[in-house]
Amino acid sequence: MTERAAEPTGPRIPMPEKTPAALRVAVGRLDPSVLATFDQQWDEAMRQARDEYTLTPSRAFVEHWWSWVGVARYPQRLARFRECERIVSESDDRAARRAAASELASILAEAVAA
């Protein structure tokens, strides 16, 4: 795994409350172009929750976007996350793909712990 340098500037925004409304505000502040996807996925999660009589889709939605905000609020973390995604999807080197996948897991764990 590649060591990541400490991010001197800190987070762009504080972690929001773990609610759909607070996450929507955070997503809008971090990347307004993603709001349409956020809203579409929220609508789909709610539709699925109603159809299946379960809270699981809404919980999965919140967890996904909580992780997204945790990564995106640090520009260097987001850049490294995207680079690791690129390696996993494009590299012919199996060891590089595995290392990048492991680093993705580490980045996500770090993002949701903060």
Q: In this structure, are 79 and 46 located in the same domain?
A: no
In a domain, 29, yes or no: no
pLDDT, one tens digit per residue, over 68-102 is 999 999 999 999 999 999 999 999 999 999 999 99
pLDDT, one tens digit per residue, over 37-63 is 999 999 999 999 999 999 999 999 999
Q: Whole-angstrom Cα distance, residue 70 to residue 93? A: 29
Phi-psi region of 35 (alpha: psi -120 to 50; beta: other; left: phi over 0): alpha
pTM recorded for the entire structure? 0.86
Domain limits for position 43: 18-23+34-73
Q: Whole-angstrom Cα distance, residue 15 to residue 75? A: 14
pLDDT over 90 at 4, yes or no = no
Q: In this structure, are 94 and 105 located in the same domain?
A: yes
In a domain, 83, yes or no: yes
